[in-house]
Amino acid sequence: MKSNQSPTASTTLKKGNVKQQILSYLYLVLGSALFAVGDVMFVNPYHLAPGGVYGLANVFNALWGWKISVAGICMDIPLLIIGTIILGPKFGVKTIISVVLIPVFTYVLETLWGYAPVIHGGEVVADTQSALYYIAKDGTQSWFMPDMFLNTVVSGLIYGVAIGVIFRSGATSGGSDIISMIIHKYTKISLGTLVLIVDSIISLTTLLAFEDIRLPIYSIILIFIESKIIDLVVEGVKSYKTAFIVTDKIDEVRDFIIKDLDRSGTVFAGSGLYQGAERKMIYVTLNRSDLVKLKANLRFLDPNAFVNVIESSEIMGNGFKALPTE
């Protein structure tokens, strides 16, 4: 059977796919490098452990001097192998590349920079109640006055951008997420809940290791900031809402959506549960400003309208984000 696609269109599509693949690998390299920067220069010096394999690697580094890169890859590779055996081949080439790139960049920073903090309130010559320590490149222990909150915010921003860019490349985080996926397979607990539990347990190891209640608290704050930044990087800053409008003034509401908001939608026919009366419902997806206009005008168009508004995490198709080419 011959393809209906012209040679020119096929060539253009292939070139577009090649460009997307090149861009995705550049994202992967950039995200892995940023992750290493955030971990070595911001997270590790403050003894934070915001979940994941590298959260544990930071604790091992502070307690026993193990290199973060070595500890990280020594945990990541067995987890990938175990995950593949139990869950099947869910982890693609890009995830494997990410597992290799992150410790490589981390090792380079450990060697060239050490574990000195970027954000701090100055070096101190001896331990005080509020001071923290880091291991310098020459192996000596140095004390500094921490700026916990500012460093946590910056760490969350860097981690969020790094992991978000890695996700945009088509790779996954791997690491401790694999533990959550394995537990999820054998239990009824949701994957999101398991990831939160595993990361929280890892964060609590800082309390056991350093006996400082600030560390797990700031680690959890870091996780929260990181998750919000990941959403922004992956999904973008636009926020869309989907509205279901049950109304007897279907023509008036329809005209307002089409003419005033310059949007389209879909009309469904249905019947009420109580009296069985036939009703019509409009399904429409809008950005935040258009939804405000719609709600403000609905009270004039149909004061008795019933409206259900839900959050839309991703919208693809005509007028919104383009559908994926692959």
Boundary of a domain, candidates 183, 204, 235: 235
pTM: 0.77
103 domain residue, yes or no:
yes
Whether 209 and 252 share a structural domain: no
143 and 246 share one domain: no
Domain count, the chain: 2
Domain assignment present for 118: yes
Separation CA 296–CA 242 (nearest Å): 16
What is the number of other CB atoms lying within 10 angstroms of the CB of residue 1? Answer: 3
For residue 16, CA distances in Å to 58, 165, 316, 322 come to 41, 20, 19, 14
pLDDT tens-place string over residues 84-106? 888 887 777 888 899 999 999 99
Under DSSP, is residue 1 helix (H, G, I), strand (E, B) or coil? coil
CA distance 326 to 323: 9
CA–CA separation, 90 and 83 (whole Å) = 8
What's the pLDDT at 254? 92
What's the length of the chain? 326
Positions in the chain short of pLDDT 50: 1-3, 13
Q: Is 202 in the same domain as 256?
A: no
Show the domain range for 297: 240-312
Backbone angles phi, psi at 140, to 5 degrees: -80, 155
Position 292 scores a pLDDT of 85
* 227 and 289 together in one domain: no
Domain presence at residue 199 = yes
Same domain, 132 and 170: yes
Tell me what pLDDT residue 279 has: 80
In this structure, is residue 326 part of a structural domain? Answer: no
pLDDT tens digits, residue range 185-223?
Answer: 888 787 667 877 888 899 999 998 988 999 999 999 999
pLDDT at position 181: 81
DSSP 131-151: -EEEE-TTS-EEEE---HHHH
How many Å apart are CA 151 and CA 159, to the nearest integer? 12
